[in-house]
Structure 1
């Protein structure tokens, strides 16, 4: 693990945050793929028996930022805090998941708990990997609440139908069998 100048990492973080905000406004996170190396990996855990892993910029674009973020148009992921380790070239960001849809009392639908991303910087304004975490129980609870209130987007309804179909989903692996480890 080699370090990077603090200023370079701070520039990368600001570039990431700015690009992320533009993608939120567009409702399309796929342009973020250009901020990963060609051979980067991006994954997260989906409970006790399953992980998600995208390998390479194309899978990151198509699966992680395309299929998996599909249906989350109108959602924002405001970063609450970002920690930079310039000796290791790693960044950790803590974010919220907030839906555009509002409850009858006017408050936004928001996932409770802490979500975040852990990145390894590769230089040249690109990540070599990203690992996310979020509270799956709170995500599930919120989606059930939104379903009952009939405020889920059509895209999210399609994602939930896909998940319930029992068909294999690209990028999903049994725990410990993904092509790149989470750790």
Structure 2
């Protein structure tokens, strides 16, 4: 159990760090907010899941490789729920591209995205699991390809999408299960 004030401070730190990473177009600095042995994963549909184990994999793979090409994207949190008894936080966010449609509306992934965190003290997360609407994200990327509005970084990301990138595992084959918590 952690004091509510400490968890609220962690959330403030997390949100301000996210905004700074959005501004920089580089998500890797967020790795400093995880414990050395933290795990970070998400599901990629009926056959695949992603898992990064340890701060270095979180920095290099989850925040580097997987967020690579998403420069100019924002992930504004819409709501954050804090459970000080369990030491857990859940945040709901949107995925919004910098590019806009001809009518001026931003390209935005439909559906709900979010992150579920386990706090470890000392302003660090020990566990994070994300969810997002993979089908709607794919549909939006196809729409952006057809409109010719992908950034150069996203084009490079799409070019290297063949095969199975680091951190991607067959469902149930990751080194840590999605539901395993410390």
What is aligned with 1:174?
Answer: 170
Instruction: Report deviation, 1:158.
Output: 1.8
Runs (4 or more) in structure 1 with deviation over 3 Å come to none
**In structure 2, C-alpha distance between the alignment counterparts of 1:136 and 1:172, rounded to whole Å:** 14
Map of 2:148 onto structure 1: 150
Aligned to 2:68: 70
Matched pairs, number: 179
2:39 is aligned to: 41
**Following the alignment from structure 1 to structure 2, what is the Cα–Cα distance between the partners of residues 39 and 24?**
25
Q: Which residue of 2 aligns with 1:87?
A: 85
CA distance in structure 1 between the aligned counterparts of 2:158 and 2:46, rounded to whole angstroms: 19
Of 120, 124, 128 in structure 1, the residue corresponding to residue 118 of structure 2 is 120
Unaligned runs of 5+ in 1: none
What do the CA deviations read for 1:45-76 (whole angstroms, capped 9, x no partner)? 00100000000000000000001000000000
Q: Which residue of 2 aligns with 1:12?
A: 10
What SS does the aligned partner of 1:155 have?
helix
Distance 1:30 1:160 in 2: 20
Q: Secondary structure at the match of 1:58?
A: helix
Distance 2:16 2:87 in 1: 20
Q: Gapped runs of 5+ residues in structure 2?
A: none
> TM-score, normalized by length of structure 2?
0.97
Q: CA RMSD in A?
A: 0.6
Q: Does the residue aligned with 2:8 lie in a helix, a strand or coil?
A: helix
- Find the counterpart in structure 2 of residue 103 from structure 1: 101
1:27 and 1:50 map into 2 onto residues whose CA distance is 27
Secondary structure at the residue paired with 2:160? Answer: helix
